[in-house]
Amino acid sequence: MSGFWGELFGTAVLIVFGVGCGAGVNLKKSYANGQNWWYISIAWGLAVTFGVYVAGAFGSLGHLNPAVTIGFAIFGFFPWNEVLPYLLGQFIGAFLGAAIVILQYYPHFKDSKNVEEGNTVGIFATAPAIINPLFNLLSEIIATFIFIFTLLNLGNFTQGLKPLIVGLLITVVGQALGGTTGFALNPARDWGPRLAYTILPVPNKTNPNWGYAWIPMVGPLVGGILAAGLVAVI
């Protein structure tokens, strides 16, 4: 069960910092309102760094991401008997992390009446800059492929300064490839917070956009499987 708890707490930390940044940037009257893409990419990178450290301290390998867990398992880099506890921890942790952000920013959600004032599912989940399902899917496949292919060359990434390197990797992926779809890279990172926004009592909530949600689910999974497969055969 150490894998489950590590993934749960690590993913919760990831989402508190990442989605918390999204809330600060978007919501009306937040001091961080209007910050730029650099700010967002750095925040998500550091969110992953500290999430991996927390997960490792609880005994997991710090995947925090079903695309990592499933891709690794398919090609023998991770045991199948650990997959379900890891996935459960990731999705539950993501939901709980989003719930904490809702509580933290509750007065700001209440004061932000609509999308124009920043009350949007985009705080919690990803959306494309240009709606084009084929290219949106390709964007998520490519970004996740690059991320996980690089990750597989880091060895045990919960040790020493490696979580910081993983965070820097997330930052540069966001800056280089994230401008198209918001670089989900991670089905739990998108679906857990999207579900929290959908079912929890968020004031003035807007459309959770589940019609798009299949892309940040399928794209990262495909990208992760392709990356792990390439590493397995070379």
Query: Is-contact 208 197, C-beta < 8 A?
Result: yes
Q: Which of 50, 227, 74, 66 is nearest to 145 (CA)?
A: 227
pTM: 0.96
Query: How many independent structural domains does the chain possess?
Result: 1
pLDDT at 154: 87
For tokens 């084929």, the residue is 134
pLDDT digits (tens, 9 = 90+) for 68-124: 999 999 999 999 999 999 999 999 999 999 999 999 999 999 999 999 999 999 999
CATH number at residue 89: 1.20.1080.10
Backbone angles phi, psi at 30, to 5 degrees: -70, 140
Helix (H, G, I), strand (E, B) or coil at 91: helix
Query: Is-contact 64 186, C-beta < 8 A?
Result: yes
pLDDT digits (tens, 9 = 90+) for 5-58: 999 999 999 999 999 999 999 999 999 999 999 999 999 999 999 999 999 999
Residues 54 and 108: their CA atoms lie apart, in Å, by 28
Taken in order 83, 6, 186, 124, is the CA torsion positive or negative?
A: positive
Residue count (the chain)? 234
Query: Is-contact 223 129, C-beta < 8 A?
Result: no
| Domain of residue 98, residue span | 3-233
